[in-house]
Amino acid sequence: MRKERGQEGGEEARQEGPSKKEEEIILACRLLEKHYKGRKPAVKLRSPFQTLVATALSARTKDANTLKACGLLFAKYPTADALAKATPARVEPLIKSTGMYKAKARNIIELAKRVEKGVPKTIEELVELPGVGRKTANCTLIYAFGIPAMCVDTHVHRISNLLGWVSTKTPGQTEMALREILPKRYWCGVNDWLVKHGQEVCPANRPKCGECFLKNLCDHGRSACAEGNIINTC
């Protein structure tokens, strides 16, 4: 890719026409948006504080576990003010389903104390908070404030590489690569769409390329179909 498309606000800033791969990426994003946009979120969150805490709790666990923990936690401690006054012993049983619950309880209580006056709106401030890495910070910007950011979890990292959008080893590298290649208008949606795609069509170790609407735009899907190495027919 020849221009910093995201930073310059999209392909409009480009001097040259898009490459074949860039056209494929845009077409794939349009298909993902058409397919997944408008689905109800798994967890209903009522404030930036709840979004930040839910994202912190979602680390290394399944959505169902986060959903269960958020329901219990926010029923009892719906605001930063309330959670800041809680003790780890009271919080731990509520979030036990998410794993690493002792560390997470300490972190979210400390988080609550730090954001009683409001959740920060910049990635630099967010990553200074306890237990908040770039993934949580980026997701909070998107889902709490609608600020374009690049939230890369395991689904986004894995599927971006399968599609051939990036060739990276870590989610951190993927975040930076996607910031370069994805038009900014897709930043807020791509995490949600690829997570849903990973859950429904492209799970780890068993992508259903034969029934995938991206198979003609995906490096892995094309080679799997060419080799006949697929689940379902192409």
Active site residue 135: yes
Determine the 3-state secondary structure of 207 from DSSP.
coil
**Residue pair 156/212 in contact by the 8 Å Cβ criterion:** no
Closer Cβ to ligand SF4, 159 or 195, answer by number: 159
How many helical (H) and strand (E) elements, i.e. helices and strands, does the chain have?
Answer: 12, 0
Among all residues, whose Cβ is closest to ligand SF4? 221
Span interacting with ligand SF4, options 54-62, 136-144, 156-164, 169-177, rule CB under 6 A: 156-164
Tell which one of 141, 162, 166, 177 touches ligand SF4 (CB under 6 A): 162
Span interacting with ligand SF4, options 91-99, 107-115, 155-163, 178-186, rule CB under 6 A: 155-163
**Residue pair 111/53 in contact by the 8 Å Cβ criterion:** yes
Backbone dihedral angles phi then psi of residue 187, each to the nearest 5 degrees: -60, -45
CB of residue 220 to ligand SF4, shortest distance in Å: 4
Continuous H helices in 45-186: 48-57, 63-76, 80-84, 88-95, 101-114, 123-126, 134-145, 154-163, 171-181
Continuous H helices in 164-203: 171-181, 187-200
Residues 106-125 that bind ligand SF4 (CB under 6 A): none
Active site residue 44: no
Tell which one of 108, 159, 166, 178 touches ligand SF4 (CB under 6 A): 159
Work out the end-to-end distance of the chain between its first and last CA atoms, rounded to an integer number of angstroms: 29
d(CA 201, CA 208): 6
Binding mask 177-216 for ligand SF4 (x = CB under 6 A): ------------------------xx----xxx--x-xx-
CB of residue 144 to ligand SF4, shortest distance in Å: 28
CB of residue 30 to ligand SF4, shortest distance in Å: 15
CB of residue 27 to ligand SF4, shortest distance in Å: 13
Structure-token match 């051939």, residue found: 164
Q: Which residues of 135-160 are buried (b: 16+ CB within 10 A; e: fewer)?
A: bbbbbbbbbbeeebbbbbbebbbbbb
Q: Is 137 in the site for ligand SF4 (CB under 6 A)?
A: no
The radius of gyration of the chain's CA atoms, rounded to the nearest angstrom, is: 19
Q: Is 158 in the site for ligand SF4 (CB under 6 A)?
A: no
Tell which one of 59, 73, 150, 218 touches ligand SF4 (CB under 6 A): 218
Which residues would be at the binding site for ligand SF4 (CB under 6 A)? 159, 162-163, 201-202, 207-209, 212, 214-215, 218, 220-221
Q: What residues are labeled active site? A: 135, 153
